Amino acid sequence: MWRALLFIALLCIAAFGAVWLADRPGTVLITFGGYEIQTSVAVAAIAFAGLALLLALLWSAVSGLLRLPSRLTSASRSRRRSRGYQAVSRGMVAVGAGDTIAARRYASEAERLLGQEPLTLLLKAQAAQVSGNRAAAEAAFTQMMEEDQTRVLGLRGLFVEARRRGDAVAAREYAAEAVRLAPAAAWASDAVLEARCAERDWRGALEAIERRTSLGLLDKTTARRHRAVLLTADALDRVDNDAEGALRSAQDAVKLAPDLVPAAALAGRLLARRGDMRRAAKVIEVAWRSQPHPDLAEVYLNVRPGDSALDRLKRTETLLKMSGGDPEGRLAVARAALEAREFARVREVLEPLLAERPTMRVCLLMSDLEQLEHGSTGHGRGWLARATRAPRDPAWIADGVVSDYWAPVSPVTGRLDAFVWQAPPDVLVAPELTLSDEVTADLDEEPKALPVVVVEEPPAVAAPAEPASEPAPAPAVVEKSEVVETVEAGEREPAQEAPLPPKPEPVVFPANPPDVPKPKETTPARRGVFSIW
């Protein structure tokens, strides 16, 4: 739009100039070398413009010829770079696809076309890593460290290679150097924090947390939680040698995260040991309201040494009220009531937990209850056997690792604050099978007659010996049959005997022996029907 307007404006100016010259006639006289040229002003102006245009064209041609070698060189270099970057792009695609041969070929081509470009070195290192050539990968990353713009990238690659070969010292040095050069590099900051946690340098880890928070790599809530975890870990390490220092660290952790169970339990235990039972109870109660936990109940139960079993029972009743009927509160009361031999209270408080599928701890408490109340009885042994198949109680879990004790970092990945209190996956316990309505209706129907296979004269086959023990009872379907009956010898014979020719005593094999019942066949119209034995 603006170009069209500019062209029209220039055209108008030219037309105005031509009209102006036409309205003002005049002559132009040129004398040169004995020659004299006289013409009008308009013709002289047109001749001057043509001469200027001719000179411009001549200058352009001469300058073009002079710049032709450099232009040819620049075009060749541009085509070379274009081919090089195309090789880099294809090489990255090959690395992502896992094509090691193509990745190495494109890496060599890119290095030949582009030289020591950062992308070329990165592709070379990636191709070496995909091919499993660790030495070539480290050499490429080492070359990256020679350039300022790729130095941090080279440090990251060397850090990864050091961790792969298990060199923790070198990996820590690379991460520390990367933090010095680029403090905002998240991977380097994480690596430094992980290394200090692995060395149990909790104070150094706290400094790393402060630095990450100041750089904006952590939000305030996460930073407070991480500081509380590190302070708790520091308190646990110092509890045997420096009880006062451990107490200060635990209290600081409780201030930052009142719901952190290990910090509250440790602070409550140390305060109770020092004789400050009121503050110890307050710390435990605050944490209990957030998350009822057996460690908190244990500390709260023994906050005052020398209390009787009834006193401890009354104290746990307070925890039950604060938890609002939480299972952990009921288990704490049941354990205290069992120690006080208040068996009725144990049954009363555990009754809601028995309505559904009780967990392992509930079954063990019921077994102890039966043993203490009635002695060694079958009920106690039954609850003990049931505990082996019961769902598992909550435990400390981090990255698939189940632990009885809390730890500040994950033993698998080294991640800080990885342990959470939750029920493990119930993979070792078989679920209870229940009969569906379709199966129940099928069992209520009149069962079909089971076939009886009679072998009249089995060659060289002796009759089966009498079983040493009483045979197992037949399944429910077999007991309802009117055709097959169970006899004392453990064999089955038809209710309505068919006349047989006088031959040697036949050997009768039951269609469904009592110890191996035959499941009913399913049909497409009766999907989901099955037998349970």
Each residue's pLDDT tens digit, 427-444? 543 334 333 343 333 333
Give the single-character DSSP code of 409: B
pLDDT tens digits for 150-189? 899 999 999 999 999 889 899 999 999 999 999 889 999 9
User: Is pLDDT of 197 > 90?
Assistant: yes
Identify the domain containing residue 46 by its residue range.
Answer: 17-59
Residue 251: the pLDDT is 94
Which tokens is 160 given? 């990864």
- Dist CA 124 CA 103 (whole Å): 8
Helix or strand run (H / E) with residue 290: helix 277-290
The reply to whether 45 and 99 lie within a common domain is no
Q: Are 349 and 325 in contact (CB under 8 A)?
A: no
Residue 397 pairs in a beta bridge with: 402, 420
Among 322, 248, 311, 252, CA closest to 284: 322
Digit-coded pLDDT (tens) for 315-329: 889 999 998 889 999
Q: Full-prediction pTM beyond 0.85?
A: no
Q: Which residue has the tokens 């946690």?
A: 197
Two tokens at 190?
């994480």
Among 275, 282, 216, 283, residue whose Cα is nearest residue 254: 283
What is the C-alpha separation between 228 and 253, in angstroms, rounded?
Answer: 4
Of 174 and 451, the structure prediction assigns the larger pLDDT to 174
Structural domains counted in the chain: 3
Helix, strand and coil content of the chain, in percent to the nearest 5, comes to: 60, 5, 30
Whether the Cβ atoms of residue 438 and residue 523 lie closer than 8 Å to each other: no
Q: What distance in Å separates the CA atoms of residue 338 and residue 54, rounded to the nearest whole number? A: 115
Task: Report the distance separating Cα 331 and Cα 337, nearest Å.
Answer: 10
| Residue where a domain terminates, one of 144, 175, 195 | 144
| Distance from C-alpha of 276 to C-alpha of 101, rounded to nearest angstrom | 71
Do 99 and 138 reside in the same domain of the chain? yes
Q: Is residue 498 part of a domain?
A: no
pLDDT of residue 236: 94
Cβ atoms of 91 and 106 within 8 Å: the answer is yes
Which of 100, 117, 144 finishes a domain?
144
> Is position 21 within any domain?
yes
Give residue-wise pLDDT tens across range 353-376.
998 889 999 999 999 999 988 887
Give the rounded percent of residues in the chain with a pLDDT score beyond 90.
Answer: 39
Tell me how many degrees the CA angle 7-9-14 measures, rounded to the nearest 5: 95
- Residue-level pLDDT at 51: 87
Q: Is residue 54 part of a domain?
A: yes
Residue where a domain terminates, one of 144, 167, 198: 144
- Apex CA 125: angle with CA 123 and CA 130, to 5°? 90
The residue-averaged pLDDT of 257-273 equals: 94
Confidence of residue 250 (pLDDT cuts 50, 70, 90): very high
Residue 457: the pLDDT is 39
Average pLDDT, the chain: 79
pLDDT score recorded for residue 217: 87
CB 293 within 8 A of CB 328: yes
The answer to whether residue 398 is domain-embedded is yes
Element (H, E) at 35: strand 35-40
Cβ atoms within 10 Å, residue 172: 20
Name the least confident of 197-206, 273-282, 300-309, 506-515: 506-515
Residue 112 lies in a domain: yes
| 35 and 83 both lie in a single domain | no
Each residue of 454-507: pLDDT tens digit? 334 334 433 334 434 444 443 333 333 333 333 333 333 433 444 444 444 443
Q: Is the pLDDT of residue 200 over 80?
A: yes
Structure tokens, 198? 């692995």
Residue 349: pLDDT above 70? yes
Tell me the DSSP string of 215-276.
Answer: TTSS-HHHHHHHHHHHHHHHHHHHTTT-HHHHHHHHHHHHHH-TT-HHHHHHHHHHHHHHT-
Q: Check if the beta carbon of residue 411 is closer than 8 Å to that of residue 400.
A: no
Q: Residue 253: what pLDDT? A: 95
The two tokens of residue 377 are 């009885």
- In whole angstroms, give the CA distance from residue 227 to residue 205: 9
Q: Within a domain: residue 126? A: yes
Please give the structure tokens belonging to residue 445: 């129907």
DSSP class of residue 293 equals -
Tell me whether residue 353 is in a domain.
no
Does residue 281 fall inside a structural domain?
no
Angle, CA 144 vertex, CA 143 and CA 146 arms, to 5°: 70
Task: Kindly report which listed range (16-20, 154-158, 306-310, 404-408) carries the lowest average pLDDT score.
Answer: 16-20
Written as one letter, the residue type at 407 is: A
